[in-house]
Amino acid sequence: MHYVNIRKGSFIERPNRFIAYIDIEGKKETVHVKNTGRCAELLVPGAPVYVQETDNPARKTRWDLIAVEKGKRMVNMDSQIPNKLVAEWLREGNLFEEITRIRPEYTYGSSRFDLYVEADGKKIFIEVKGVTLEEDGVVRFPDAPSERAVKHVEELKTAVREGYEAYVFFVVQMKGVRYFTPNMDTHPAFGEALFRASKAGVHILAYDCETGKDYIHIEDEVPVAFADTMEDKIGEETYLAETVVEWYRANKRELPWRKEPDAYRVWVSEIMLQQTRVEAVKSYYERFLRELPTVKDLAEAEEDKLLKLWEGLGYYNRARNMQKAARQIMIDCHGVFPDTYEEILSLKGIGNYTAGAISAFAYGLPKPAVDGNVLRVISRLTGSREDIAKQSVRKRVEDMLEPIIPKDAASDFNQGLIELGAIVCVPNGEPKCGECPLSCFCEARRQGTASEIPVKSRGKARRIEERTVFLFKDGKKLAIRKRPPKGLLASLYEFPNVQGSMSMEEAVAYSKGIGLMPVRMKALGNAKHIFSHIEWHMTGYEIIVDELERTNEKGFLFIRAEEIGEEYPVPSAFEYYKRYAGTI
Ligand code: SF4
């Protein structure tokens, strides 16, 4: 790239960022300075400078500052030239094999990048930065804080996530330097952003230039160095943690338990969310908190009321254990929810995951909350084929995560990993690696093994139990009974049922055997319910009898069908048959 109409002068002073006074052949001229950076080490009184006479008659100043001699070094100061140089250099066949398109000034997100290139089948953004700051052969950028530069670098990271190739290209506007490094003195945030971008797959390049008073062109690659302290400060793990936090804050779903997350609310939601889908939990959660808004209310609740609030969520022991823990808190902690991990972990029904979740979400303590989502994400990130059903593997993941939890963002980090597993690194179907903020770290993605990971051994096969369910009715009421206080579905209400799959004749005989005379009967069909270790395969009959009270079976209760919804919690195992409760 050549300049014409170049004249030599001597620098006098710079009254503001945009102009300088230059002595040209004994006359003090006002010269336009395109480079609005400080350039304090370059523009010193008496420094030989080179200026170009403008051919634009409308311009107030006749001259543009192009280059300055700094000792034996010629430094080009034209801030408009680096973009043109890079575009020209690319067209000459550098960096890419076959360029099909180059467009300057391309808008992407809320940034405008210097160059958009289509080459070798790739879509590429290049942000170009001119570098003039040099000391002892080390060149640095920026020479003044630049929030815009930070924003550009951040946007390039996003572009990489979305499948673009991205570059920050530092054009060192001089020759003979040793290496480039971001200027941590003037703007550490830029250096850190650049370092993170490099870790996220943004290419950071620096090239020096052969410069003269009237020419400049790109020459040789210059090493890019980040300070060792930066490696310590923003090592890979720290970067990973910050990426998770950043992603979570931008992408989290609005969920009722994320508003005002005090310990009690976190606890209730986390217990409900075990084994149950988020969508299904929402209405249960809101109703539960309305009815039992405090630990005290939970501790004092009637068992039937508690089970009724839990009806449909299954795993009723979770609710019973919560009540035991609430009573523990009332006695041992005067009703105040404990605020240390160890104390929380000591509560009935609370394991490592829930203790970690309450500690981190409610109190901001840097404790890991490792659930199935986190195990999946971490297994894929590390390419681990260890069995995530094993306690030892879970423990290892907890130990690995604990030291990297950001002290000031423990909640968002933990929730970010969980959320990532729930909506991006999903359990069923292909993970959405293209949307994943951690894809640049991911071993499974690199190896193409995401669909095989995690490995989870199957537990013992479930026992199949055949049962026959009866809806005994007499025109006004139907029969239910309370289950025993211990064991499966303890203390809940059920339709009478017996082991085995009965034919219609056997069902009639059974009915008569317990003193109930069938008037009419109907087969209701089959239903299945899966518990953790058992599967119920059920056959059902509706049997209209002359009078329910005549039964000799102990423990039957005769109720109106509406009361099932109001007072008597009937678990979802009987969901299929509940729909027939109200019909006669
Ligand atoms: Fe999961 Fe894919 Fe992200 Fe890896 S890149 S963590 S497999 S979504």
pLDDT tens profile 511-558: 999 999 999 999 999 999 988 788 999 999 999 998 998 888 888 999
* Residue 221 pLDDT grade (very low, low, confident, very high; cuts 50, 70, 90): very high
Q: Strand locations in 324-423, DSSP E?
A: none
- Whether the pLDDT of residue 232 is over 60: the answer is no
Indicate the SS3 state at residue 67: strand
- Whether the pLDDT of residue 254 is over 50: the answer is yes
Atom index in ligand 1 nearest the CA of residue 433 equals 2
Residue with token string 């969980």: 418
- Whether the pLDDT of residue 59 is over 80: the answer is no
Q: Strand locations in 120-263, DSSP E?
A: 122-131, 133-135, 138-141, 165-172, 179-182, 203-212, 215-221
- Whether the pLDDT of residue 228 is over 70: the answer is no
pLDDT of residue 229: 57
What is the separation of C-alpha 59 from the centre of its chain, rounded to a whole number of angstroms? 52
- Whether the pLDDT of residue 233 is over 60: the answer is no
Please return the burial class of 458, using the count of CB atoms within 10 Å of its CB with bins 0-12, 13-18 and 19+.
exposed
- For residue 347, what are the contacts with CB-CB under 8 A and spacing of at least 6? 325, 328, 329, 338
User: Which range (5-14, 332-341, 384-393, 436-445) has the least confidence?
Assistant: 436-445
What percent of the chain shows pLDDT beyond 70? 98
What separation in Å is there between the alpha carbon of 275 and the centre of ligand 1? 23
* Residue 210 pLDDT grade (very low, low, confident, very high; cuts 50, 70, 90): very high
Catalytic residues: 270
| pLDDT 10s digits, 120-178 | 889 999 999 999 999 889 999 998 888 888 888 988 988 887 789 999 999 999 999 99
- Whether the pLDDT of residue 316 is over 90: the answer is no
Residue 25 or residue 446, greater confidence: 25
| pLDDT 10s digits, 27-48 | 999 999 988 777 888 889 999 9
In angstroms, rounded to a whole number, what is the distance separating the alpha carbons of residues 445 and 436? 10
pLDDT of residue 584: 47
The residue contributing the CA closest to ligand 1 atom 2 is 433
Average pLDDT of span 73-91: 95
Q: Is 436 in the pocket of ligand 1 (CB under 6 A)?
A: yes
- Whether the pLDDT of residue 118 is over 50: the answer is yes
Q: Is 424 in the pocket of ligand 1 (CB under 6 A)?
A: yes
Q: Strand locations in 305-462, DSSP E?
A: none
| pLDDT 10s digits, 327-361 | 999 999 999 999 999 999 999 999 999 999 999 99
SS3 per-residue string spanning 108-151: ECCEEEEEEEEECCEEEEEEEEEECEEECCEEEECCCCCHHHHH
Alpha helices, DSSP H, located in 432-536: 443-447, 504-513
Q: Name the residue of 161, 162, 380 whose CB sits within 8 Å of the most ligand 1 atoms, as the mutation to test its pocket.
A: 380
Atom index in ligand 1 nearest the CA of residue 443 equals 4
- Whether the pLDDT of residue 564 is over 90: the answer is no
User: Which range (114-123, 376-385, 394-403, 455-464) has the least confidence?
Assistant: 455-464
The residue contributing the CA closest to ligand 1 atom 1 is 425
| DSSP-derived secondary structure letter, 338 | P
Q: Name the residue of 160, 424, 451, 453 whose CB sits within 8 Å of the most ligand 1 atoms, as the mutation to test its pocket.
A: 424
pLDDT of residue 147: 86
Across the chain, what does the average pLDDT equal?
Answer: 90
Q: Which of 533, 389, 536 is nearest to 460 (CA)?
A: 533
pLDDT of residue 69: 94
pLDDT of residue 57: 75
What is the separation, in whole angstroms, between the first and last Cα of the chain?
93
What separation in Å is there between the alpha carbon of 401 and the centre of ligand 1? 17
User: Which range (93-97, 117-121, 183-187, 255-259) has the least confidence?
Assistant: 183-187
- Whether the pLDDT of residue 237 is over 80: the answer is no
pLDDT of residue 235: 58
- Whether the pLDDT of residue 299 is over 90: the answer is yes
Strands 478-482 and 493-494: antiparallel
Q: Is 377 in the pocket of ligand 1 (CB under 6 A)?
A: yes
The strand pairing partners of 129, in sequence order, are 170
